[in-house]
Amino acid sequence: MKTILSIFLLLVIFSHQSYSNDTLREVNIEQIWMQDQWVNYTRITTLYIKQRLPIKSHWEIWDKDHYINYSLMFYKYDEKDRIVEQLIMNDIDNQWQNARLTEYEYTEAGKIKKTMLSFWEENEWVPNQEIEYLYDESNFLINVNRYTFKNKIKKHIFLDSIINNELGLPIEKITKMNEDNQWIYEFRFSYEYQNSKLMNEIQQYWQNENWENNSKIEYKYTESGKNDEIIYYRWSNNQWIYNNKYVYEYTMNDKLSVITEYVWITDDWSPKRKEEWKYGDDGRVKEYYVYVWFNDQWGNYERNLYDYYTDVTYSLQKLSDFKIYPNPAKNFIIISEINPTDEILVQLIGLDGKTYKSFIVHNLESKQMKVDINDLPCGTYWITISNSLYYGQSGFVKVR
């Protein structure tokens, strides 16, 4: 079982490395319109390296008069800036607990090969869903296999078969579902293009040994190639009927400004929902609003306020060796000379690769802590202490 030893590190670098001018911290405050005023809802603080790769995202929710922890997300990349791991931790009873782990693999050509989603259960990662991507000799995607796990037994549940045109653009995708070890048609998607731009997408479902129309999406573009309108249809009485559509508007700098959703009612389009982006002088989003159509006018519903901090120095360096005693130990160990003393992740990992203990410590006033090891089997263990900036590792032996 693969451990999360390196996940919290975010980058597999043990020597000092710094990103100062290339690092960005983004703070996003989401608010909901309630009782004629904006009320705090969530706050998301994300740290980026190279101004575009998120490595840590801290989610908080508003509780009466302050923010409380909700979840943490950590991202790890390879040397080609491809994401290889995403870890999600949730706050449970004021302690950070592992929740979900997604791992990514790539082909030699750099195409995504496999993703594995695992859940944290009984102190280990248990596989939940695997997606496998297969390509032809031209590196065009031709098959997507989806697997699920029950009691750690892998079962093939969905198969997507894809036909591409000479440019590698999909023109047909058929989804099959495995029922009682028999493959049964589910959906078929057909795609039409013009100058490599997707113009129409038709979804059909398998019924009575035949493909029946279900829905259609029509795409329209601006002269610069951006989305202009996306129109959704449903199949009814042997004809395509309008369902809803999205209309896009842009600023003078060709940045997305407004998306308005309309629904087809009787014989006309009626507004339903609108999203609006506002930008700062640096070109970054500063405000994002969601409105709903009510009583023939737009009403406030949600807004997001963004702040950016570019004078952030991000570094990852190995900690000075910390001390562990007694060693060997029976009932507990003392970890001393810990630096830093702010939020850190502590993990006890066996030689079998299993994480036996995992917890986060906040604001360690003294530079030491006591860890109960009574419930550990006898053997040799690694202790790792890390956060987004530092990493340290040492070992001890548990005896009877």
Residues 6+ apart with CB under 8 A from 389: 314, 315, 316, 317, 340
pLDDT tens digit sequence for 98-133: 899 999 999 999 999 999 999 998 878 899 999 999
The span from the CA of 21 to the CA of 178, in Å, is: 51
pLDDT at 391 (0 to 100): 67
Q: Is the pLDDT of residue 7 over 90?
A: no
pLDDT tens digit sequence for 176-200: 999 988 999 999 999 999 999 999 9
pLDDT tens digit sequence for 270-297: 999 999 999 999 899 999 999 999 999 9
More confident residue, 270 or 20: 270
The span from the CA of 381 to the CA of 383, in Å, is: 7
pLDDT tens digit sequence for 300-351: 999 999 999 876 655 544 545 678 888 888 999 998 887 766 678 888 888 7
The span from the CA of 391 to the CA of 346, in Å, is: 10
Q: Is the pLDDT of residue 394 over 90?
A: no
**Distance in angstroms between the alpha carbons of the first and the last residue of the chain:** 26
244 within 8 A of 263, measured Cβ to Cβ: yes
pTM of the model: 0.75
Omega prior to 328 cis, within 30 of 0: yes
Looking at the chain, the whole-number percentage of residues with pLDDT higher than 90 is 62
DSSP secondary structure letters along 37-50: EEEEEEEEEEEEET
